């Protein structure tokens, strides 16, 4: 259900499912944009997919340079709203 990698605007992000939280991972996931790795904490499939989408959008903000215009707290709010809306009203699955 969750791919091992994802291309975001030309940058390849690896996706790693982890049992323990990596450093500085304070929630269910982490997008380490410098190393292009998305970490997702092992959980139920639905929860992990939510986290995966959330971290993908952080990649969109990073690679689309939206993060230069939007401060971090607001980025979190925008992403969570988008993910919740998508999952509620659409069937979302990786290609």
Closer to Zn ion by CB, 17 or 78: give it. Answer: 78
Closer to Zn ion by CB, 47 or 76: give it. Answer: 76
Residue 19 CB coordination number (10 Å) = 6
Residues forming contacts to Zn ion in the complex (CB under 5 A) are 76
Q: How far is the CB of 79 from Zn ion (least distance, A)?
A: 6
Residue 75 CB coordination number (10 Å) = 17
Q: How far is the CB of 57 from Zn ion (least distance, A)?
A: 8
Contacts of 36 (CB under 8 A, 6+ apart): 11, 12, 13, 14
Q: How far is the CB of 30 from Zn ion (least distance, A)?
A: 8
Q: How far is the CB of 5 from Zn ion (least distance, A)?
A: 20
Closer to Zn ion by CB, 73 or 88: give it. Answer: 73
Closer to Zn ion by CB, 27 or 92: give it. Answer: 27
SS3 label, residue 41: strand
End-to-end CA distance of the chain: 10
């Amino acid at each position: 259900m969750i791919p091992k990698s994802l291309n975001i605007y030309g940058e390849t992000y690896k996706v790693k499912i982890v049992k323990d939280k990596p450093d500085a991972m304070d929630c269910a996931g982490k997008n380490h944009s410098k190393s292009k790795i998305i970490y997702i904490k092992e959980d139920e499939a639905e929860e992990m997919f939510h986290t995966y989408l959330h971290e993908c959008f952080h990649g969109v903000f990073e690679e689309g340079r939206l993060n230069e215009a939007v401060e971090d707290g607001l980025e979190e709010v925008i992403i969570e709203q988008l993910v919740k809306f998508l999952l509620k009203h659409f069937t979302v699955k990786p290609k």
